[in-house]
Amino acid sequence: MVTKANEVSCPVKKSLLLGVLLGCLSVVSNAQDLPINTDRLNALKITVSKVEKTPIEGIYAAVTNQGLLYVSADGNYLFAGNLFDIRSNAPVNLTDQGMAELRQQQLKNVEDQMVVYKADNEKYHVTIFTDPTCPYCKKLHKAMPEYLAEGITVRYLAFPRGGMRTKGAYQLRQIWCSDDPRQTFNAIEQHENVDVDVDCDAPVAEHYQLGQVIGVTGTPAIILPNGQMIPGYQTAAQLADLLKQQSQSAMQYAE
């Protein structure tokens, strides 16, 4: 059973829980081609990068610099939340499905920026948004040998939950600027002094914005291979069970 997120995660300050339905139509990315009026969004400093139709006439799913939002075509209405298809006996959360696809797509773009702890007998991999100042992130990292023993490769991305002007952001820059990110990560988690020049092109801000876009609201945020996000700490055994169930479900679906 997955433990409740609010008991095992460190929340983001002043964050919004954002959701979106990604439709099956092609993405519109050029500002002049956007099918929605963005004047009011721009006034709110919300920049739209991609737009897709939803099954609801006149409502669009927008990828923005503040996350994923629903917007009316005239730009007068803006909201976030889950959209369900209730035409069958078992309601389907279309937003969750769309978000999972979006996470998979977006994570592919930053695979070369991850700090990876690879399991020798790799069976699964997970991507984790982390902050060294988060107690549950520390707990997870301390148990790294247990995850690796379960065959789980851990791929880290940076997510300073308090923003870019925090101790967490600075420590994350130290990690990503280091010649040996894993060694520096371990040293920081063990409260050792780290002397690393942070004047480098570290992708911490990029990871932070990415996390906001794909719905990260606290750390650790664990992304499974199918794009499902587990908000909060999971033991190695819990995570291995979850990954096994997901793998079996995928195999059954393929059949």
Per the residue annotation, which of 131, 165, 179, 199 is the catalytic one?
A: 131
pLDDT 10s digits, 12-31: 653 333 333 333 223 444 54
Per the residue annotation, which of 96, 103, 155, 161 is the catalytic one?
A: 161
Q: Where are the domains of the chain?
A: 20-94, 107-254
Is residue 161 part of the annotated active site? The answer reads yes
Angle at 175 between CA 11 and CA 127, to 5 degrees: 55
Per-residue CA distances from 172 to 65, 68, 184, 198 (Å): 21, 25, 10, 9
pLDDT 10s digits, 39-96: 999 999 988 888 888 889 999 988 887 777 889 999 999 988 888 989 899 998 888 8
Residue 159: partners with Cβ closer than 8 Å, 6 or more residues away = 129, 130, 131, 207, 208, 211, 216, 219, 221
Is residue 134 part of the annotated active site? The answer reads yes
Per the residue annotation, which of 137, 179, 182, 197 is the catalytic one?
A: 137
Per the residue annotation, which of 10, 96, 103, 134 is the catalytic one?
A: 134
**CATH homologous superfamily of 107-254:** Glutaredoxin (3.40.30.10)
pLDDT 10s digits, 172-207: 999 999 999 999 999 999 999 999 999 999 999 999
Is residue 200 part of the annotated active site? The answer reads no
Q: Is the pTM of this model over 0.75?
A: yes
Per-residue CA distances from 198 to 84, 171, 201 (Å): 45, 9, 8
Is residue 131 part of the annotated active site? The answer reads yes
| CATH fit for domain 20-94, picks 3.40.190.10, 1.10.3720.10, 3.10.450.70, 1.10.10.10 | 3.10.450.70
